[in-house]
C-alpha cells in the first residue's frame, strides 16, 4: 500500500503560480488500488463498504465505486451525493444517530437497501414512514456494547456515548421491533471503535460481536441474516509508513465465520487517508516567547483533522529556491517549529514543536495522509479565507478544481 508524496515539481505543475500555494492533491488511481487491496484481503463473500463521511467528493466516490461493495452513508445529503456521483445501481446502507422522517423518506426514494437503527425512537419513526409508503424496510439494530472496549483512538461503543442501543436494552428493542410491521429485522450492527491499530485485537473484538449476535438470535428466535462489523481499521499518523495488517485481521476472523450469516465492513479512513496531501506555502516565520512558528497559507479551516484529534500531523518541507524580494529571506534552522494557519485563533495549529532541519519563507509544507477527514470536516468559511485548490490525479490528466 503506497503513500502519496507529491514532489515540488509536481506541485508546481498542478497549482497556480500567481498566488501562494494552498492545495489538496489526491491520487485517485492509488486510492482505487488501496480499495482493491483491502477488499481482496477479506474472506470470500464479505461485503466491503466505503464510509462516505471520510471523504465525500464525487470524484473519490466514482473512483472507488468499481472496487467496493457499496457505500455507507450517514445523512440524506450523502445519499444524494452517492447517487449523483455513481448512479442508481450503487448499493447504499445508512447508519448514524438523530434520524428524521425526512431521512427515511429520502432513503426509500433513493433505493437505500438497509437502515441501521440506533434507538427505539428511530425505529418508530422509520416504521411510520415505511408504513405510509406501503413498503417494508430492512433494518439492523446498532449495539452499544457494555464494554469497556480497549485499543482504539475513538470509541463509539462500550462507553456512555450517543451511538447505538445499549447492550442491556437490546431485548426491549427486539420486542418493539416485533411490533413494527413495516420493518424487517435482518441482524445487528457493531461499529464500536475507530482507528484500531491492533489487527489481532480487532479480530477478537469482531469475533466476540459475532458470537453475541448469534447468541441473541438463538435465544430470541431471530433470523440472523447479517452482521455489520463496522470499520475501525487503524492508521498511524505518527508513522506514515505503518499499515494495518488487513490480511492478518481476516485470517484471525475467518474461523469465526459461517455460511449462514453474512458479514459487512464499512471503512473510511484506511481507504482514503493515504492518497491525499495538503500543501501550504510558508508565508511568515516568527518567534514568540522562545518558540518558532511558521505561518501558512491555509490551516484548520481547510484541514481540521490535526486540531480535532490533537495530534501533530506528519509533514515534509519542500524547499523552493525562488525569492523575489530585495530583503533577506527569513529561515528557521535545526530547531522545533510549530506550523500554524491563517486564522485568528490559537487553536489553528497543524503540528506543534516538531524538529525541522531548515524552513524558509516561500518553502512548502506538505501534510501527508490528508485524504480522509480533512476538507470534509473543516469549517471552510471561517474568516472567509480563499478555499484551497483541489486537484484529483487520474491517469495522465489531472482533474482541477481551483479555489476562488
Same domain? 109 vs 157 = yes
Q: How far apart are CA 382 and CA 344, in angstroms?
A: 10
Same domain? 115 vs 231 = yes
Judge whether 160 and 146 are in contact, CB under 8 Å. no
Residue 301, in any domain of the structure: yes
Cell of 307: 486540531
pLDDT digits (tens, 9 = 90+) for 115-145: 999 999 999 999 999 999 999 999 999 998 8
Residue 68, in any domain of the structure: no
Long-range residue pairs from 335-338, CB within 8 A, at least 24 positions apart, any chain: 335/292, 336/291, 336/292, 337/292, 337/293, 337/294, 338/291, 338/292, 338/293, 338/294
Residue 178, in any domain of the structure: yes
Instruction: Count structural domains, the chain.
Output: 2
Same domain? 99 vs 172 = yes
CATH label of the domain that carries residue 232: 3.20.20.10
CATH label of the domain that carries residue 381: 2.40.37.10
Give the end of a domain, one of 267, 295, 327: 267
Judge whether 250 and 266 are in contact, CB under 8 Å. no
pLDDT number for residue 39: 97
Same domain? 259 vs 363 = no
Same domain? 297 vs 343 = yes
Q: How far apart are CA 339 and CA 295, in angstroms?
A: 6
Give the end of a domain, one of 235, 267, 299: 267
pLDDT number for residue 148: 64
Is residue 59 packed enough to be buried (19+ CB in 10 Å), middle (13-18) or exposed (0-12)?
middle
Residue 213, in any domain of the structure: yes
Same domain? 21 vs 95 = no
Give the end of a domain, one of 220, 238, 267: 267
Residue 35, in any domain of the structure: no
Same domain? 224 vs 366 = no
Residue 62, in any domain of the structure: no
pLDDT digits (tens, 9 = 90+) for 20-75: 999 999 999 999 999 999 999 999 889 999 999 999 999 999 999 999 999 999 99
Same domain? 131 vs 217 = yes
Residue 77, in any domain of the structure: no
The residues that are catalytic are 344
Residue 180, in any domain of the structure: yes
Using a cut of 0.85, tell me whether the model's pTM lies above it: yes
Same domain? 233 vs 299 = no
Is residue 124 packed enough to be buried (19+ CB in 10 Å), middle (13-18) or exposed (0-12)?
middle
Same domain? 235 vs 110 = yes
Same domain? 251 vs 134 = yes
Give the domain extent around 320.
8-25+275-401
Q: Kindly give the parts of the chain with pLDDT less than 70.
A: 1, 148-160, 396-404
Same domain? 260 vs 321 = no
pLDDT number for residue 136: 98
Q: How far apart are CA 10 and CA 20, in angstroms?
A: 16
Amino acid at each position: 500500500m503506497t503513500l502519496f508524496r507529491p514532489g515540488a515539481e509536481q506541485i508546481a505543475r498542478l497549482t497556480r503560480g500567481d498566488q501562494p500555494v494552498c492545495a489538496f492533491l489526491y491520487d485517485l488511481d492509488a486510492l482505487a488500488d488501496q480499495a482493491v487491496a483491502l477488499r481482496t484481503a477479506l474472506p470470500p463473500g464479505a461485503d466491503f463498504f466505503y464510509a462516505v463521511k471520510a471523504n465525500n467528493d464525487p470524484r473519490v466516490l466514482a473512483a472507488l465505486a468499481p472496487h467496493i461493495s457499496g457505500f455507507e452513508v450517514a445523512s440524506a445529503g450523502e445519499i444524494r451525493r452517492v447517487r449523483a456521483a455513481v448512479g442508481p445501481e450503487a448499493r447504499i446502507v445508512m447508519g448514524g444517530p438523530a434520524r428524521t422522517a425526512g431521512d427515511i423518506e429520502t432513503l426509500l426514494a433513493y433505493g437505500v437497501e438497509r437502515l441501521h437503527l440506533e434507538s427505539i425512537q428511530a425505529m418508530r419513526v422509520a416504521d411510520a414512514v415505511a408504513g405510509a409508503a406501503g413498503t417494508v424496510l430492512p433494518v439492523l439494530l446498532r449495539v452499544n456494547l457494555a464494554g469497556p472496549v480497549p485499543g482504539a483512538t475513538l470509541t463509539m461503543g462500550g462507553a456512555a456515548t450517543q451511538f447505538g442501543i445499549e447492550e442491556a436494552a437490546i431485548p426491549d428493542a427486539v420486542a418493539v421491533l416485533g411490533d413494527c410491521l413495516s420493518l424487517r429485522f435482518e441482524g445487528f450492527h457493531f461499529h464500536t471503535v475507530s482507528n484500531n491499530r491492533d489487527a489481532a485485537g480487532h479480530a477478537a473484538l469482531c469475533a466476540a460481536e459475532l458470537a453475541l449476535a448469534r447468541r441473541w438470535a438463538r435465544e430470541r428466535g431471530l433470523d440472523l441474516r447479517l452482521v455489520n462489523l463496522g470499520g475501525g481499521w487503524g492508521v498511524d499518523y505518527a508513522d506514515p509508513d505503518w499499515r494495518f495488517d488487513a490480511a492478518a485481521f481476516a485470517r484471525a476472523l475467518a474461523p469465526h465465520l459461517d455460511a449462514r450469516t453474512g458479514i459487512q465492513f464499512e471503512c473510511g479512513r484506511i481507504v482514503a487517508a493515504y492518497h491525499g496531501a495538503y500543501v501550504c506555502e510558508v508565508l511568515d516565520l516568527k518567534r514568540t516567547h522562545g518558540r518558532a512558528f511558521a505561518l501558512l497559507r491555509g490551516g484548520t479551516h481547510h484541514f481540521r483533522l490535526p486540531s480535532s484529534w490533537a495530534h501533530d500531523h506528519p509533514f515534509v518541507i519542500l524547499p523552493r529556491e525562488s525569492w523575489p524580494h530585495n530583503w533577506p529571506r527569513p529561515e528557521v534552522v535545526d530547531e522545533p517549529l510549530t506550523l500554524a494557519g491563517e486564522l485568528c485563533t490559537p487553536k489553528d495549529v497543524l503540528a506543534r514543536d516538531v524538529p525541522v532541519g531548515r524552513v524558509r519563507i516561500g518553502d512548502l509544507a506538505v501534510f501527508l495522509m490528508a485524504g480522509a477527514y480533512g476538507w470534509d470536516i473543516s469549517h471552510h468559511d471561517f474568516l472567509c479565507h480563499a478555499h484551497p485548490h483541489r486537484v484529483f490525479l487520474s491517469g495522465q490528466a489531472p482533474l482541477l478544481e481551483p479555489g476562488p
